[in-house]
Structure 1
Amino acid sequence: MKKVIVLTAILTLSLYSCSKSEDNEYVPIDLYPNITATFGTTIDPDNLSNYANQAIPAYITKDNTAGNPITDKGATLGRILFYDKNLSKNNTVSCASCHIQADAFGDGAVASPGVNGTTGRHAMRLINARFSVERKFFWDERAATLEAQTTQPIQNHIEMGFSGTGGDDNIDGLVSKLQSIGYYQELFTFVYGDSEVTETRIQDALAQFVRSIQSFDSKYDVGRATAANDGQPFTNFSAEENQGKNLFLTPPQFNAAGVRTGGGLGCAGCHAAPEFDIAPNSGNNGVVGTLGNPTLLDITNTRAPSLRNMLKPDGTPNGPFMHTGEFTTLQQVLAHYNVIPIVPGNTNLDPKLRPGGMPQELNMTPQEISAITAFIKTLSGTDVYTNAKWSTPF
């Protein structure tokens, strides 16, 4: 009987080995004491949250995962790294300091606090970052992959302080720092088979966690699941929401002066359904100021987050909009696109916003504004704001 008990323990407990107690009974020994001491029951390596096999609607076809597939182990490590302030020079800032779950993994502040000041651009929402045909990241697309993006804030002097400049350690300093922390020795062994910490392993784990943050429980998704395509009326939508959807999807018609004379608003030209991500090779959208200095041009910002969860379930914004954070309401965003400004020196304005070479004027009516607003509200889910697997493990 005792052999059966021992065999069962070996087969069912990945966290423990067995030894005999004083009364000759087999008892489990915790092989990951630092994980247990730090995270308690929040992180249970023998019962991980589901990151790798989440349900994805059949109509979602884009995926920039490439050679770093999500695993439960890797995303769990990524979650801890994402929330750990040890990744900053002075242990005051984590990735989650700028990308807050309650704000759809964006920031309610215009600029986010770093170890040596505040960020130069508003923090972009991370919802559904996996489901984008545009594989470059940051507002200016300077990172070729999400993996490359993950450690650039760490290596920024202002943001997290392992820049190798201005008295900072470089990324090797962070690697050594994490290598000395007991729970990372155990976590890296658990995920990779040995305790070695490397920048590549940090990048892969963080990217897996970020890609796992998905939102497909919106009113839009309920309607899309029962429709053959986006062009059909959604039976769960109000008449106004269906009107807004049609305006979003339908290209506008313009006269020679760039004034809309018919058709829809053409939002899908840059933010195609059902992912609502940014089209690759986009130009900028006419917002070309610099955060804190609107007169200093910053024309290289051609990426944007998904339009999903722009708003919270109650309709309030998930922080300000654009890389400058200069718009605080959806109505201000719509007003910007209603009449695109031509800023001297902006040589990178997206061609879709200057039909026939002229700045677009959509001439939206109050009813159209109300309808497109109603539709954008349908793109917000609820689960992503509270799901424990994306919350702090500390």
Structure 2
Amino acid sequence: MLKRTLILLLVAASFSCGSDENNEYVPVTMYPAVEAAFGSNIDLANLSNYANQSVPFYITKSNVGTNTITDKGATLGRVLFYDKKLSSNNTISCSSCHQQANAFSDVAVSSSGVNGTTGRHSMRLVNNRFANETKFFWNERAFNLETQTTMPIKDHGEMGYSGADGDEPFSGLIAKLSNISYYKELFKFVYGSEEITENKIQLALAQFIKSIQSFDSKYDAGRALAANDGQPFTNFTPQENQGKNLFLAPPVFDATGNRTAGGLGCAGCHAAPEFDIDPNSRNNGIIGNINGTGIDLTNTRAPSLRDLVKVNGNLNGPMMHTGVITTLQAAIGHYGTINIAPGNTNLDPRLRPNGFGQQLHLTAPEVDAVIAFLKTLAGTNVYVDRKWSDPFLD
């Protein structure tokens, strides 16, 4: 009897199980290829928490849509996001252009792809789930995040499965991934079938990207103690509170676009507490192309201003779709003096009061105060949380 009990215990141990967010048991030994490829970085018996992360009470926006974040789906999305096999020559992944160390952006003006460089600077991905704007890319050409996720893969310059210019079509990628053992296991784990489709890839990648959030900044600590954003934050310095007020308050202009009173009106396009872009925004007066030739009036989206900089004040890469602005002082200076360029028929009306490019007449203390406030939007966890890290690294 004792021998039989020991045998049963050993059998049970060999089929040790964990549970996912639906309390379904996961036999670990059913996924040996995942264990071999990722070790402890991906533990299907103990999934990371993507689905039930804490969100502050004052954050009310959500564009998660019908593709609800699940721990299973985001885990697959994490692997896809970091896997260079998603590119035609196995050298570029989504993470090549969207790096965790830089709040999922790139320090390069234009990121490297398999056949050249990107046409615009790589946008930060932090807190995209909490934005009013549900379209993606600087020019909003992707209707939603799910659609966006495979567009870089299909781009000849970026990841090389365009089906043109000598590239394989996207079906070539499907065939490649279908022959990789850990994808067979992961797709079965998530979807109940080894079959890989573009839609399944899109859903998983979008779940992972939507899970990337940042709410541990000095701003968040202050906002949690305040009734609203307009109140002084008790954890802020006088300069930071001054910068917050200038950011939030609308300016008062005279008949020719000169600011005579009020704040800077930044919140007109980047509303607190999410600091994302107003979906009705037009371009901000920067209408060049990244290669310096011609004009481009269509760039009307922007990432959240959260984690624009790290806690130490270093930028997470250059700003704007051209990467032309490389300091916070220069960014504020751009909005301080808006010159309406010939041919710019899509300038945001908030930047041309009474038909004139706005002239904010900023003082040095005002600029310093707004910079101090922008630095309070920097979090820390987004850079180090393992659930958003590269599972292929030892």
Normalised TM-score (structure 1)? 0.94
- The alpha-carbon deviation at position 9 of structure 1 amounts to 5.3
CA distance in 2, matches of 1:372, 1:3: 68
CA distance in 1, matches of 2:260, 2:304: 28
Counterpart of 1:393? 391
> Aligned partner of 1:170: which letter?
P
CA distance in 2, matches of 1:268, 1:14: 46
Pairing 1:126-141 to 2, within 5 Å after superposition: 126-141=125-140
Q: Does 1:316 align with 2:314?
A: yes
Unaligned runs of 5+ in 2: 20-26
- The 8 Å contact of residues 28 and 45 in structure 2, kept in 1 or not, is answered as no
Pairing 1:129-278 to 2, within 5 Å after superposition: 129-278=128-277
DSSP 3-state at the match of 2:40: coil
> Aligned partner of 2:377: which letter?
L
Counterpart of 2:331? 333
- The 8 Å contact of residues 140 and 301 in structure 2, kept in 1 or not, is answered as yes
> Aligned partner of 2:388: which letter?
W
CA distance in 2, matches of 1:29, 1:391: 22
Counterpart of 1:23? none
- The 8 Å contact of residues 281 and 301 in structure 2, kept in 1 or not, is answered as yes
DSSP 3-state at the match of 1:214: coil
Counterpart of 1:47? 46
- The alpha-carbon deviation at position 14 of structure 1 amounts to 4.8
Counterpart of 1:360? 358
- The alpha-carbon deviation at position 341 of structure 1 amounts to 1.9
CA distance in 2, matches of 1:7, 1:195: 27
- The alpha-carbon deviation at position 171 of structure 1 amounts to 1.2
Counterpart of 1:379? 377
Q: Does 1:13 align with 2:11?
A: no
- The alpha-carbon deviation at position 12 of structure 1 amounts to 5.6
DSSP 3-state at the match of 2:222: helix
Counterpart of 1:304? 302
DSSP 3-state at the match of 1:40: helix
DSSP 3-state at the match of 2:129: coil
> Aligned partner of 2:378: which letter?
S
DSSP 3-state at the match of 2:260: strand
1:11/1:182 CA distance change after superposition, 3 Å: closer
DSSP 3-state at the match of 1:172: helix
Pairing 1:290-301 to 2, within 5 Å after superposition: 290-293=289-292, 295-301=293-299
- The alpha-carbon deviation at position 31 of structure 1 amounts to 1.4
- The 8 Å contact of residues 14 and 29 in structure 2, kept in 1 or not, is answered as no
- The alpha-carbon deviation at position 7 of structure 1 amounts to 9.4
- The 8 Å contact of residues 18 and 46 in structure 2, kept in 1 or not, is answered as no
- The 8 Å contact of residues 18 and 28 in structure 2, kept in 1 or not, is answered as no
Deviations 1:124-169 (A, max 9, x none): 0001111101100000000010000000000000000000100111
- The alpha-carbon deviation at position 29 of structure 1 amounts to 7.6
Percent sequence identity is 63
> Aligned partner of 1:143: which letter?
A
- The alpha-carbon deviation at position 172 of structure 1 amounts to 1.1
- The alpha-carbon deviation at position 5 of structure 1 amounts to 3.7
> Aligned partner of 1:280: which letter?
P
Segment of structure 1 superposing worse, 73-82 or 169-178: 169-178
CA distance in 2, matches of 1:107, 1:178: 26
DSSP 3-state at the match of 1:127: coil
CA distance in 1, matches of 2:225, 2:177: 48
- The alpha-carbon deviation at position 10 of structure 1 amounts to 9.4
CA distance in 1, matches of 2:338, 2:171: 45
- The 8 Å contact of residues 223 and 229 in structure 2, kept in 1 or not, is answered as yes
Unaligned runs of 5+ in 1: 16-27
DSSP 3-state at the match of 1:341: coil
> Aligned partner of 1:311: which letter?
V
CA distance in 2, matches of 1:264, 1:319: 27
- The 8 Å contact of residues 17 and 28 in structure 2, kept in 1 or not, is answered as no
- The alpha-carbon deviation at position 340 of structure 1 amounts to 0.8
CA distance in 2, matches of 1:138, 1:262: 35
- The alpha-carbon deviation at position 4 of structure 1 amounts to 7.2
Extract structure 1 runs of 4+ deviating beyond 3 A: 1-12
CA distance in 2, matches of 1:231, 1:7: 62
CA distance in 2, matches of 1:29, 1:311: 40
DSSP 3-state at the match of 1:120: coil
- The alpha-carbon deviation at position 386 of structure 1 amounts to 1.0
CA distance in 2, matches of 1:59, 1:5: 50
Pairing 1:65-76 to 2, within 5 Å after superposition: 65-76=64-75
DSSP 3-state at the match of 1:30: helix
